[in-house]
Amino acid sequence: MPTPPAAARTLPEERIPRDILVLIAAAVIVALGFGLIAPILPQYAKSFDVTNAAAAAIVSVFAATRLLFAPFSGRITERFGEPVGYVTGVLIVALSTLGCAFAQDYWTLIAVRALGGVGSTLFTVSAASFIARRSPASLRGRISGLYGGAFLFGNVAGPLVGGLLAPLGYRMPFIIYGVALVIAAGVVFFFLVGVGGKARKRDQDTKPPLPLSQAWKVPAYRAALIGNFGNGWVTFGVRTAIIPLFAAMALGLDPLQVGLVLTAFAAGNAAALTFSGRWSDRVGRRTPIIVGMSIAAATSAVVGFSPNAWVLVAASLISGFGTGLFGPSQQATVADTVGPNYSAGRTMATFQMSADLPAIFAPIIAGWIADHWGYQWAFVLSGVVMAAGVLAWARVKEPRRA
């Protein structure tokens, strides 16, 4: 039988590097713990007899310290390497989480939660930079989807488990989450820093940083920043802080039902992530982003009109699906901008800051609007902010991949 021509041969599919698989496994542990506290965090703050806006501020202060420390985290990652930055950041969040468990007043809770933001930005920037640099170009969308899916796997199970733990009080989930973070740090340390990573040379973990001025020249990167601003407002701000309050205060749902609402969002997100990464690698970044953001914007605008728990669950499911469509493509866009020969520390930190900035103000603004004009208007504003990302990407041509 004649040998087929080179153009007709099927090349073997590239494999995901083992180091990235380690970070994906650690992400499951981190997300499972976070899912435990997500349904109760605003209500825990509310238990100190504060207003809705003050309760929502527990989310804002976390985002504020993430934003303020993000530039430093990018430089720390570039100087000491991503694995060291990751382990250090996770351990800081573990300390903060255990501090939340034993807080005796509202201001102590605010202070230790703020410390958690410092560690959070350090480990997320380190992980994102490592994945951006180590991902093969043909697998960037898929790897971004898998990494996001790992977080969502934990978020799907976490809120339900947290709801079941409600009879144990507000503090126990924080203790469990703190322990989970220590385990995640141990896994990464063993494989990437310590025993399992001894042979790795330091120069393999560090690359020269891509100048932000160079990244800013890429239209797709600028659009990704605008889209991530909307994602930060809706997903990290309003969904985390206001959705639990709306479900509990306006619809009268118990902690288990609130957990079900958050789980529905995560489940929709996870369903989209099963194919959105591959879709992005096949058709490009722009289409999945525009479709997904449009769905998320529409559902975010109408979720406040939910008359009962089941409508709220359905809206959360659809909103999560839309977010899962555009998430991997936006992460892959940053990786496309950086390429394999640079460190993504500062570029990724700026991308992260674009979501952290609205996550600071969105809970407070939305909480204030809910206090004065009702939850519906708070959610309508969220839909408008997300729609700005759709308009930004509609003006961008399909980006080239590095």
Q: Could you report the per-residue pLDDT of 167-196, keeping only the tens digit for each?
A: 777 788 888 889 889 988 888 888 887 644
pLDDT tens digits, one per residue of 133-161: 777 777 777 787 777 777 666 666 666 67
Total Cβ atoms within 10 A of residue 102: 12
Cβ burial, residue 95 (10 Å; 0-12/13-18/19+): middle
The residues, ordered by sequence, that sit 6+ positions from 13 with a Cβ below 8 Å of its Cβ are: none
The residues, ordered by sequence, that sit 6+ positions from 22 with a Cβ below 8 Å of its Cβ are: 187, 188, 191, 192
Alpha-carbon separation of residue 291 from 287, 288, 294, 315, 386 (angstroms): 6, 5, 5, 16, 12
pLDDT at 402 over 60: no
Cα 77-78-83 angle, rounded to 5 deg: 40
Instruction: Please tell me the distance from the alpha carbon of residue 214 to that of residue 357, in angstroms, as a whole number.
Output: 22
Please give the pLDDT value at position 158.
66
pLDDT tens digits, one per residue of 204-258: 445 677 777 788 888 889 999 999 999 989 887 788 778 888 888 878 787 777 8
Position with higher pLDDT, 100 vs 249: 100
Q: Looking at domain 16-394, which CATH architecture does it have?
A: Up-down Bundle (1.20)
Please give the pLDDT value at position 98.
92
Please give the pLDDT value at position 81.
79
Position with higher pLDDT, 21 vs 6: 21
pLDDT at 10 over 70: no
Please give the pLDDT value at position 166.
64
Position with higher pLDDT, 291 vs 150: 291
Q: How confident is the model at residue 162 (pLDDT cuts 50, 70, 90)?
A: low
pLDDT at 5 over 60: no
Cβ-contact 82, 130 below 8 angstroms: yes
Position with higher pLDDT, 129 vs 92: 92
Chain centroid to Cα 280, Å, comes to 18
C-alpha dihedral over 139, 142, 146, 147, to 10 degrees?
60
pTM for the model stands at 0.70
Please give the pLDDT value at position 201.
43
Cβ-contact 306, 312 below 8 angstroms: yes
Of 50, 56, 77, 27, the C-alpha closest to 365 is: 56
Residue at 390: amino acid letter:
V
pLDDT at 35 over 90: no
Please give the pLDDT value at position 389.
92
Please give the pLDDT value at position 383.
92
pLDDT at 203 over 70: no
The fraction of the chain above a pLDDT of 70, given in percent, is: 86
pLDDT tens digits, one per residue of 318-336: 998 999 899 888 888 888 8
Instruction: Please tell me the distance from the alpha carbon of residue 356 to that of residue 349, in angstroms, as a whole number.
Output: 10
Helix, strand or coil for residue 340? coil
- Give residue limits of the domains in the chain: 16-394
pLDDT tens digits, one per residue of 367-382: 888 888 888 898 999 9
Q: What average pLDDT does the structure give for the chain?
A: 80
Please give the pLDDT value at position 200.
45
pLDDT at 70 over 50: yes
Alpha-carbon separation of residue 28 from 32, 100, 156, 159 (angstroms): 6, 22, 11, 14
